[in-house]
Structure 1
Amino acid sequence: MRNVLAVQADSLPGRIVATSNEYPTHHRIARHDHRRSQLLYAAHGIMVVGTETGRWIVPPERAAWIPAGMSHDVHVLAQISTRSIYVEPEVSAALPSDCRVIGVSPLMRHLLLETLDLPLLVEAGSGSRPDLIYSLIVHEIERAPVLPLDIPFPADPRLAKRCRAYLAHPSPHDSIDDWCRDLAMSRRTFTRRFRAETGTSFAQWCRQAAIFAALPRLAAGEAITTLALDLGYESASAFTTMFKRLIGMPPSRYLAMSQPLPSPTLRAAIASIDG
């Protein structure tokens, strides 16, 4: 089904439901939840999925998995074409129970395109073509690789505020000692609490935050060399290596798959995400 509002998805019948939407740059879908789990695929463009515990950036040809009942919002950073698959929790116990960004295999990509014209009601277990398409999509979700495109926020308000400030202005000169001083914590206490509340080390979180911040800047047309030096890399090639390792593609390919982002600065984009 085409052009079904996200907040209306729960009214659609069926154990698995497919929808398609086009959204303009800067479009926002307000905080809401679904009784089904949702696979939100970005065929083109860039979006950010936000929850109380973090942000997940979804580049082109990647997808966000949002478990049933999880309150979330969506902010479109660059004009986007989406496909959504809503799955009742009882369809498979092997589906993820946490929010994540996943890689989309060529098979899943083609299957998602095929859902555009499937009937609304599909009999489960019938062996019909629509039933087999949906079954294969569920299997592909179960085996999809998790991509490191999440920025977890601590529950501690002071730590979370400091994390958001860094995300808005990532600096290669920030050190763990700077954060400890700002938060009036010993290095040992900070390190222990940061890992306990984010599930990752301070250094890894900062690397993730820098790549997260780089995506909208790349989409805005900023030069890779300028961006790399700004984020503390010695060269564009060093930045490209890290970008490819985390995102799964070089910046040049990412740029070719993205629509331009009109916002002239990263600060405006990040401020609008957190606003």
Structure 2
Amino acid sequence: MMKNNQEKYYTQEVDVDPESIYCHHDLMGELLIPTHKHDKAQLLYAEGGIVYVTTETKTYFLPARHFMWIPSGVEHSIHPSSEDVMMRNLYFPNEIDDEVFYSKEGIYPVNDLLLQMMLFTNRWNGDLKKESRNFRIALAIKAILPQICGINLPLALPFPKEQRLVKIVAYIDDNLSENIHFSSLAQKFGFSERSLYRLFQKDMGMSFIQFFTIKRMLRALELLIETKLTVNEIALAVGYNSPPTFSNTFYKILGQRPSDYLKGMEILKQK
């Protein structure tokens, strides 16, 4: 019989020793870690698929070669795209002199230095006691993050609260391969362009074009990771007739070209 989620995913053990750094590496094995929070901040790095992290206000998309920083006390649930996703977690106690970086949720690319340091922790599990060698190594991982993580990537989308917008977002989800025009969208759902623009800004905190662009890029990420489609085929699948335009947009959102992202995936598979 399967252990319940709270036992299986060790969430009750993270804060037992408030001064330790807690480490846990494991295959997901299931498709949900229910909503929970902990007193320690979390560095979550995943391999083998996309992990969706849902907070009270947003869903974050954590792809391979990226990590998410989750500050202490933030309620969240975790939904991997596959049971075979490998999760690497380090949980850090708060420190009085912590930089502002550690107080904000964010997703960041993993460079070669951080990747090697995370892989070095592969055999660790459980509490890393203060003043132990492994504790000091883990603390060094935390210390370098503000220096190497200059870009907090916009790999998150808010939940629509207004019921009319819920229907519009569902329509967008179902038609990402189409070049949806804002004017046509407004007309289809009985809005003037001006009123729909205001509704997006008020309810989502972003414009339609920002929302639609991020939606398309997140779908492109899923296809890059989970299929064998070419970059050109993925561009068409998310509504871009011009592969260069798709590549440029992907670069603006993720800081690298789709082709470079695929190369990074291949390097990761060789580790």
TM-score normalised by L of structure 2: 0.78
Greater alpha carbon shift after TM alignment, 44-53 vs 182-191: 182-191
Query: Deviations along 1:172-218, whole A, 9 cap, x unmatched?
Result: 43222234335544333332332233332211211110011122223
Shift of 1:42: 1.6
Alignment pair present for 1:237 and 2:244:
yes
Counterpart secondary structure, 2:46: strand
Question: 2:219 is aligned with what amino acid?
Answer: A
Counterpart secondary structure, 1:232: coil
Question: 2:227 is aligned with what amino acid?
Answer: A
Alignment pair present for 1:45 and 2:49:
yes
For the structure 1 residues 87 and 178, does the alpha-carbon distance in structure 2 shift closer, same or farther, using more than 3 Å as the test?
Answer: farther
* Distance in 1 (alpha carbons) for counterparts of 2:53 and 2:60: 5
Task: Work out the number of aligned pairs and report it.
Answer: 253
- Structure-to-structure mapping, 1:135-174, within 5 angstroms: 135-143=139-147, 144=149, 145-174=151-180
Greater alpha carbon shift after TM alignment, 204-213 vs 99-108: 99-108
Match of 1:103 in 2: 109
For the structure 1 residues 6 and 157, does the alpha-carbon distance in structure 2 shift closer, same or farther, using more than 3 Å as the test?
Answer: farther
Match of 1:176 in 2: 182
- Structure-to-structure mapping, 1:58-69, within 5 angstroms: 58-69=62-73
Match of 1:33 in 2: 37
* Distance in 2 (alpha carbons) for counterparts of 1:63 and 1:173: 31
For the structure 1 residues 162 and 53, does the alpha-carbon distance in structure 2 shift closer, same or farther, using more than 3 Å as the test?
Answer: farther
* Distance in 1 (alpha carbons) for counterparts of 2:87 and 2:101: 21
For the structure 1 residues 150 and 237, does the alpha-carbon distance in structure 2 shift closer, same or farther, using more than 3 Å as the test?
Answer: same
Instruction: Work out whether residues 4 and 20 of structure 1, in 8 Å CA contact, stay in contact via their aligned partners in 2.
Output: no
Match of 2:60 in 1: 56
* Distance in 1 (alpha carbons) for counterparts of 2:62 and 2:26: 15
Gaps of 5+ in 2: 1-6, 267-271
Alignment pair present for 1:223 and 2:230:
yes
For the structure 1 residues 182 and 223, does the alpha-carbon distance in structure 2 shift closer, same or farther, using more than 3 Å as the test?
Answer: same
For the structure 1 residues 200 and 96, does the alpha-carbon distance in structure 2 shift closer, same or farther, using more than 3 Å as the test?
Answer: farther
TM-score normalised by L of structure 1: 0.77
Q: Percent identity?
A: 27
For the structure 1 residues 95 and 17, does the alpha-carbon distance in structure 2 shift closer, same or farther, using more than 3 Å as the test?
Answer: farther
Instruction: Work out whether residues 21 and 83 of structure 1, in 8 Å CA contact, stay in contact via their aligned partners in 2.
Output: yes
Question: 2:28 is aligned with what amino acid?
Answer: Y
Question: 1:22 is aligned with what amino acid?
Answer: L
Question: 2:253 is aligned with what amino acid?
Answer: L
* Distance in 2 (alpha carbons) for counterparts of 1:257 and 1:80: 17
Shift of 1:171: 4.3
Gaps of 5+ in 1: 260-275
Alignment pair present for 1:17 and 2:48:
no
Counterpart secondary structure, 1:7: coil
Match of 2:4 in 1: none
Greater alpha carbon shift after TM alignment, 177-186 vs 67-76: 177-186
Counterpart secondary structure, 1:34: coil
* Distance in 1 (alpha carbons) for counterparts of 2:174 and 2:39: 33
Instruction: Work out whether residues 4 and 19 of structure 1, in 8 Å CA contact, stay in contact via their aligned partners in 2.
Output: no
